[in-house]
Amino acid sequence: MQTDLFGNKRQKVNLHMHTTRSDGAHSPATALRIYRNEGYDAVALTDHWRFGEGGTDEGMTVLSGAEYNLAGSTGKNGVFHILSIGAEREPEIIGDDDTADPQQVIDAIHAAGGLAILAHPAWSLNTPEQIMRLHGFDATEIYNSVSGVHESRRPDSSIIVDQLGARGLFLPLVADDDTHYYDSDRCFAWIMVKAEDASRESLLPAIRRGDFYATEGPEVHIRVEGNEAIITCSPCREVAVFSDAVWVDKRMIEGEDLREVRVPVVKYEHFVRARVTDKDGRQAWTNCIQLPR
């Protein structure tokens, strides 16, 4: 547990990682030890089509998890990798990776009491239209570590997030490792959840509400007051503000030691979100804030 700039308790959480139960390099015990030693408060083991039970590991919460990869390996008709997080029992999926229906997978995860999170939409070449045909995602990954170091160099799904926002769909934005190799893809990106403790009962509702920010290290918060978006962060060298507007002036702010930035919000924007970058190149992302229009 850590405390943020406003005095709130924050839990460090990774929701996407693999073990030798599917295609990961380490056993569950070793994987958990690695993350526990790096100060994580909670993780989910999300092996492909292998439901992992929840519990605790020497004080670290282990959320139940699985990853259901659907529709093969070509993006033409829509490849979906869907995370089940925190389900009370194994979701009752009809079919397998070639035949299961993505909507049924989402519904089955919810029926089992879990969160359904869309993994790495940029890596999967998901289009906004493909995503919007489905209903009930609780969040999507905006950043996926392994996709940047081993897999296709498509770790960042920001443009898809903004395209969805331009169409009126706003999902909480998580950053995850999707650890497979346990070299440069481990302990690299996570979410900081605003919650009193790291129990399942505290984390799942907070994630569903979007009470967290996604990060590789920096802290970031965004709020809107009147006609201004206010970004508060740990010391950073760059603050970028995004929306459904193609161009708005002064949305990329650079400096030596940025801690708070204020930018105007214009009348034709329907949402804003922010990304900060620190002196070491590490990034953090806020969720989208919808604007009353």
All residue ranges of the chain with pLDDT < 70 are 73-76
- Which of 172, 187, 213 is the C-terminal boundary of a domain? 213
- Which of 166, 186, 213 is the C-terminal boundary of a domain? 213
pLDDT given at position 292: 86
pLDDT given at position 105: 98
- The reply to whether 10 and 148 lie within a common domain is yes
pLDDT given at position 74: 63
pLDDT given at position 152: 79
- The reply to whether 16 and 66 lie within a common domain is yes
- The reply to whether 54 and 175 lie within a common domain is yes
Q: What is the pLDDT of residues 223-236, one digit of tens each?
A: 999 999 999 999 99
pLDDT given at position 76: 65
- The reply to whether 179 and 128 lie within a common domain is yes
- The reply to whether 126 and 252 lie within a common domain is no
- The reply to whether 154 and 248 lie within a common domain is no
Q: Which CATH number do you get for residue 252?
A: 2.60.40
pLDDT given at position 266: 95
> Number of structural domains, the chain?
2
- The reply to whether 187 and 267 lie within a common domain is no
- Which of 183, 213, 243 is the C-terminal boundary of a domain? 213
- The reply to whether 202 and 267 lie within a common domain is no
Q: Which CATH number do you get for residue 153?
A: 3.20.20.140
- The reply to whether 149 and 232 lie within a common domain is no
What is the residue range of 225's domain? 220-290
- The reply to whether 161 and 187 lie within a common domain is yes
For residue 246, the number of C-alpha atoms closer than 13 Å in the C-beta half-sphere is 0
- The reply to whether 21 and 109 lie within a common domain is yes
- The reply to whether 44 and 173 lie within a common domain is yes
Q: Which residues of 115-126 are buried (b: 16+ CB within 10 A; e: fewer)?
A: bbbbbbbbbbbb
